Each structure stands twice: as structure tokens, then as C-alpha cells.
Amino acid sequence: MIDARFRRSAVVALLCIATVCPAFAEEAIEVSPLTERIVWTKAPIPLSLPVGKERIVSFPADVRAGIPPQLGDALRTQSVAGTLYWLAHKPFPATRVQIQEIDSGRIYLLDLRADSNAISTAPVEIVARSSATKDTDGTTLATHDAAQVDYVTLTRYAAQQMYAPKRLLRDPPGVYRAPLRIKHAVALVRGGAIEATPLSTWHGGGLYVTAVKLRNVTHAPVVLDPRDLRGQWLAATLQHARLLPAGDEADTTCVYLVSARPFEESL
């Protein structure tokens, strides 16, 4: 938990700059195995498959999959009532796969790859931009245009989830909680002075954003530099650039990492 005085300063910063990190309350960081929802915007959808583990991908209607011949021995495909069941037998590089709705003829393009290091097996639901979804209370909601979800939207949303009071939280359409498979400290920051623990991750617009807690474990102040981060990140935003020595109320902050793939595959 973040110290109360540190939390108040963070809320003030959030209100002043209209961006970014609620106290690390348990309810804010609890991760459940949710389905990843992706809106089809005519841009090819990147999708990673773990080798040896099945991944389920659902579409709005019955589909047929056009699997390239080179994936014949590497990929098992089963199609049932608009849902594809994919099992990669061995790694293969990103390969364009065409999926067609049988009745409407609509085409979806997926850049499919299999990686021995891929971890996520969360089900994926692909929806058309013009389709509608129902909220848990039965209210019909228009599907958000994923093209409107960008680095700034995702970073601001993640920061608000981590620091803003609950009464100020607003969920933008098209952004969903995604499964986070790593919940322990990771070697994210070079040098050994910073302990990094992933907290939560969200998906929207074909991108992922992950909030990672950074804690100074040394007895000296540390100035953070995004260039010291390991991994393949499209954007990295620090809540605070300077951490005080371990044990001080300001020895902890957040970094928000935007990536093209899930956190565990980008690290």
C-alpha cells in the first residue's frame, strides 16, 4: 500500500495534469482471467499462440479459416459455430491468416505467430466495429471504434486506475482488463536498484498497457530513466522520475508500458 501522504500528492498531480497513478488497493490490482476483446477495424490483428496449449478465438458469426500451407504441420485448427480452436505444435513466425464469415463474406486478417515463450491462453473475442455488445446488466452498448484508442488514452486510463479515487474513475469504451500471467517481481529495470512488480494490464485498440510498480531497494535516491527498461515497449511513462531511499514514503512509483503484445511476451 502507498503511504497516505504520498497518495494525496499523487491525486493532486493527477488533478493538475489530467493524466495519471489510486492507491494500490487490492480491488484495483486483482486480476481475473477475462476474455480479451478486440474490435476489427480492418487493420490486421496480431495474435500470439503458446506452443502446446490451445487458444480459443471467437467471431460474431460462423467462419471458415484460410490456413496457409506452410502452417499445415505446425498448427491444428478446429472451427465450431463461429469459434476457432488453435493449437500450435511448434513455433512459427508471424503469418497472415484470412478468416471469412460464411454468411456475410466479411474478411478478418490475423497475423498469427507461435512462440515457446508466449504465456497467455486467454480466450479472444473479435467483434465487428458495427456490432453491439451487452453489458452485464443487459444494457446494449455500441462497440467503440478501436482506432480512437491510442498510447495517450491507454496510459491515462491505466494511471487513473492506479491512483484516482473510485468516484472519479470512468471506463472508456473499447478498453478491457486483460489477463496478467506474471504477478511476481521481474527484471525490468537495469542496474538492480529497482524492484519491478506488474500490477494490472488492459487491452484496447490492438495495444496493451501494463501498470508496473517500481520500488527503490537501495539506501540512496534514484533517478529513473525509461532507457534503462528491458523489453519491447512502444511507450513508457513514469508517474514520478525520482525515488527516495528504501523505507521512505516516496520510494515507490508506477511506470505505464504500452506494447503490441501482452506484457509477458514483451518483457
- Distances, alpha carbon 54 to alpha carbons 57, 75, 118, 170, in Å: 10, 10, 12, 34
Q: How confident is the model at residue 38 (pLDDT cuts 50, 70, 90)?
A: confident
Average pLDDT on 22-35 reads: 40
pLDDT at 223: 94
254 in the same domain as 173: yes
Residue 133 lies in a domain: no
124 in the same domain as 52: yes
26 in the same domain as 154: yes
Distance of CA 9 to the CA centre of its chain: 27
Q: State how far the Cα of 254 lies from the Cα of 214, in Å rounded to an integer.
A: 6
158 in the same domain as 98: no
Looking at 62, 97, 128, the residue that finishes a domain is 128
- Distances, alpha carbon 257 to alpha carbons 146, 175, 260, in Å: 19, 15, 10
Residue 224 lies in a domain: yes
228 in the same domain as 164: yes
176 in the same domain as 210: yes
pLDDT at 225: 92
188 in the same domain as 121: no
Of 17-21, 124-128, 134-138, the range with the highest mean pLDDT is 124-128
Query: What cell does 206 get?
Result: 490492438
Average pLDDT on 183-189 reads: 92
203 in the same domain as 107: no
Q: How confident is the model at residue 131 (pLDDT cuts 50, 70, 90)?
A: very low
The domain of 97 spans: 42-128
Residue 137 lies in a domain: no
Residue 257 host element (H or E):
strand 252-259
* Residue 185: pLDDT over 50: yes
CATH of the domain at 122: 2.60.40
Summarize pLDDT for 68-99 with one digit per residue, the tens. Answer: 888 888 889 888 888 889 899 998 988 898 88
- Report the domain count for the chain: 2
Place of cell 472451427: 79
Q: What is the CA radius of gyration of the chain?
A: 20
Summarize pLDDT for 41-55 with one digit per residue, the tens. Answer: 888 888 888 888 888
